[in-house]
């Protein structure tokens, strides 16, 4: 969607003001189109790729589906510069990096799927910071992940800091004793 939006306006900033035609190439959360761009498309400057932050992180964690080196692409810009973060329930032992490292059972991270930015970022953070993670996948949206954390299905989630401005995050921060929106169970987080 962001790529199609950029395509509407990008032509007016290119000499000759060409029309730009957006084309979706679904599959593997953007990896199919990135592999096509790198391995099939002519390197003539006429093809532009819009990928997710997760895509280049997938290369860093060694996903076998990635058949390209993102470092060899020419980068124009970014749609999103929001930093990533990990947030965990306060009533778990995962309230610090040391807590994530020292517990016997790995923290359960709520995520959409294996190609989501949260899955890739939590895997990368676990690798770099030396802790174990258990991926709880299958959530259809960020709000569903939030509800999963509230219900205790997941202990943590990796997200962009932009999530802090939308519900339920401000409520969690202002009212640490508030109950789960689904079942009313008291939550212990700040």
pLDDT of residue 179: 47
Mean pLDDT score, 90-119: 91
pLDDT of residue 56: 78
Give residue 181's pLDDT band: very low, low, confident or very high (50, 70, 90).
very low
156-180, pLDDT tens digit by residue? 999 876 666 666 766 666 655 544 4
- Domain spans of the chain? 2-52, 84-174
Pick the CATH number of 84-174 from 1.10.10.10, 3.40.190.10, 3.40.50.1860, 2.40.30.130: 3.40.190.10
Give residue 100's pLDDT band: very low, low, confident or very high (50, 70, 90).
very high
3-38, pLDDT tens digit by residue? 888 888 889 998 999 999 888 888 877 889 999 999
Say how many CA atoms lie within 13 Å of 59 toward its Cβ.
16
CB 66 within 8 A of CB 58: yes
141-154, pLDDT tens digit by residue? 888 998 999 899 99
Q: What are phi and psi of 125, to 5 degrees?
A: -60, -40
Give the position of tokens 């498309």. Answer: 41
60-74, pLDDT tens digit by residue? 778 899 999 988 988
Q: What is the mean pLDDT of the chain?
A: 83
End-to-end CA distance of the chain, in Å?
34
Give residue 58's pLDDT band: very low, low, confident or very high (50, 70, 90).
confident
**109, 154, 164 from 170: Cα distances, Å:** 20, 19, 6
Tell me the H-state helices in the chain: 2-10, 31-39, 53-60, 97-102, 117-129, 142-151, 169-174
pLDDT of residue 39: 95
Which residues touch 125 (CB under 8 Å, ≥6 apart)? 86, 131, 158
Mean pLDDT score, 122-128: 91
Give residue 134's pLDDT band: very low, low, confident or very high (50, 70, 90).
very high
pLDDT exceeds 90 at position 126: yes
pLDDT of residue 142: 84
DSSP 108-146: EEE-S-TTSHHHHHHHHHHHHHT--EEEE---SSHHHHH
What tokens were used for 181? 């929106």
């Amino acid at each position: 969607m962001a790529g199609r939006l950029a395509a509407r306006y990008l032509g007016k900033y290119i000499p000759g003001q060409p029309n730009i035609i957006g084309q979706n190439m679904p599959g593997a959360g953007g990896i199919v189109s990135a592999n096509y761009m790198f391995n099939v498309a002519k390197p003539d400057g006429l093809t532009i790729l819009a990928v997710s932050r997760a895509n280049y992180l997938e290369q860093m964690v060694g996903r076998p589906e990635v058949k390209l080196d993102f470092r060899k692409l020419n980068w124009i810009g970014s749609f999103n510069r929001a930093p990533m973060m990990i947030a965990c329930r306060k009533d778990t032992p995962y309230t610090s990096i040391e807590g994530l490292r020292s517990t016997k059972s790995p923290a359960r991270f709520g995520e959409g799927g294996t190609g989501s930015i949260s899955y890739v970022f939590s895997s990368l953070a676990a690798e770099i910071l030396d802790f174990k993670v258990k991926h709880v996948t299958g959530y259809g949206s960020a709000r569903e992940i939030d509800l999963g954390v509230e219900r205790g299905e997941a202990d943590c989630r990796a997200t962009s800091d932009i999530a802090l401005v939308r519900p339920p995050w401000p409520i969690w921060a202002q009212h640490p004793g508030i109950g789960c929106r689904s079942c009313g169970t008291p939550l212990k987080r700040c």
